[in-house]
Chains A and B, each alone.
Chain A
């Protein structure tokens, strides 16, 4: 598996995938829909898939002495690696906002969603949607990327809009907690987002393996 990851990182990936990890720091931006950061991270991964297609990466990988499932596994591992790196940056940004910057006026007066564990959970949920809709959709043909990416843009931005809107609904204000307020609820929501990520990714991976095994390259 180490070899496949090395191939993904050194041969298949676009530099943008690594560069766009930095969009995880958008969790610091006040007055901005911070979950767009998660979307921009996935945009870098999408670019990697395009670069790989131009390099005939899938057929090259399928010719290597590995099982066909390992080609799919390599892609998912790479995607999850980039997402994990971005999540780490988002987490660092969120922890700083929850502690050292908890009372910063610029964040307190933020009209949009606050950076808190719920936001992190939603970022993971969006990554899960990317893995399900785009990565899974790509492996239906191992070639077509436009349709699954457009489908992901739609569901991804619906998720961003829903996350931004929820705390305005009466009774759900705790979703937009500052500092360590409602920490128990916030951590449960983070765990739910992470669980959704794992489930969506596993579901997508299993389906992608079946689809990839069926198609003619």
Chain B
């Protein structure tokens, strides 16, 4: 079942255009959103949160349009923007005490569970956290209100290989619990490690949106790694 449907999304900037982006995200699957820097990943994700105004297209969550149902939809989704510091000098405990009030579905048991799992100290402020721990803090907020969909903008950027691997394992665990995980990355091995589906964006256009297996079968040449395939496609050669 599609939990997110993005159809014909268009956003024009003076020097960049996201054109006719369409893809879907399924429940209980991990979708890797891959593309090089400046390909349009963050523009797409910001549109998915209604932070920017697309010039065209539609975005539906759980079969409902984002426009007009924003409040209800946002209660069911979680987000993480890896490099952003929210209230960098406030204690995690204080931030959480405010955020929880916004969600009817806030689950204290889940909060305690992930706090322990992520080894986060409530007394610390975001400014005291490493990049990896910041991502985990954002995930903690998302998971404590039982988000059915996680949308994560470059959650693995800036993480060491150990933290990245740990995070990807967490995604797999969430997937097994039925959560849809949609994460952007420019690190191809992240996709190889845990993604079920791939949405590949290049120069503001969706070059491929399909299950990873199908991507490899249809677009990779024999013996070619996923990285080689993408590098070749990025150079404009789409024939396997």
Asked whether any CB of chain A lies closer than 8 Å to the CB of B75, the reply is yes
Do B52 and A11 touch (CB < 8 A)?
no
Nearest Cβ in chain A — how far from B42, in angstroms? 12
Contacts of A3 in B (CB 8 A): 98, 101-102
Query: Measured between alpha carbons, how far is A66 from B49 in the docked complex, in Å?
Result: 12
Q: Which of A10, A65, A66, A68 contacts B94 (CB 8 A)?
A: A10
Query: Measured between alpha carbons, how far is A68 from B97 in the docked complex, in Å?
Result: 22
The residue on A at minimum CB distance from B75 is: A65
Query: Measured between alpha carbons, how far is A3 from B51 in the docked complex, in Å?
Result: 21
Do B74 and A65 touch (CB < 8 A)?
yes
Nearest Cβ in chain A — how far from B90, in angstroms? 6
Asked whether any CB of chain A lies closer than 8 Å to the CB of B193, the reply is no
Do A56 and B74 touch (CB < 8 A)?
no
Known: A7-B98, A10-B98. A57 touches B75 (CB 8 A): no
Do B101 and A56 touch (CB < 8 A)?
no
Nearest Cβ in chain B — how far from A16, in angstroms? 15
Known: A3-B101, A10-B94. A63 touches B84 (CB 8 A): no
Asked whether any CB of chain A lies closer than 8 Å to the CB of B23, the reply is no
Asked whether any CB of chain B lies closer than 8 Å to the CB of A161, the reply is no
Known: A11-B95, A65-B75. A59 touches B102 (CB 8 A): no
Nearest Cβ in chain B — how far from A136, in angstroms? 20
Contacts of B53 in A (CB 8 A): 214, 216
Q: Which of A2, A11, A62 contacts B51 (CB 8 A)?
A: A62
Do A6 and B87 touch (CB < 8 A)?
no
Question: Would you list which residues of chain A between 62 and 80 have a CB under 8 Å from chain B?
Answer: 62-68
Contacts of B88 in A (CB 8 A): 54-55
The residue on A at minimum CB distance from B51 is: A217
Query: Measured between alpha carbons, how far is A64 from B95 in the docked complex, in Å?
Result: 13
Do B87 and A11 touch (CB < 8 A)?
yes
Asked whether any CB of chain A lies closer than 8 Å to the CB of B85, the reply is yes
Interface 1/0 per residue, B71-97 and A, CB below 8 Å: 110110001000011111110001101
Nearest Cβ in chain B — how far from A119, in angstroms? 37
Question: Would you list which residues of chain B between 42 and 72 have a CB under 8 Å from chain A?
Answer: 46, 49-53, 70-72
Contacts of A68 in B (CB 8 A): 50, 70
Q: Which of B52, B89, B101 contacts A217 (CB 8 A)?
A: B52
Contacts of B86 in A (CB 8 A): 55-57, 60
Contacts of A11 in B (CB 8 A): 87, 90, 94-95, 98
Instruction: Given contact pairs A60-B87, A217-B46, enumerate 9 new A-B contacts (beta carbons under 8 Å).
Output: A10-B98, A11-B94, A11-B98, A60-B86, A62-B50, A63-B74, A66-B102, A68-B70, A216-B51
- 24 CB-based A-B contacts, threshold 8 Å: A2-B101, A3-B101, A3-B102, A10-B94, A10-B97, A11-B94, A54-B88, A55-B89, A56-B85, A56-B86, A56-B87, A62-B50, A63-B49, A64-B74, A64-B99, A65-B71, A65-B74, A65-B75, A65-B103, A66-B71, A68-B50, A68-B70, A216-B53, A217-B52
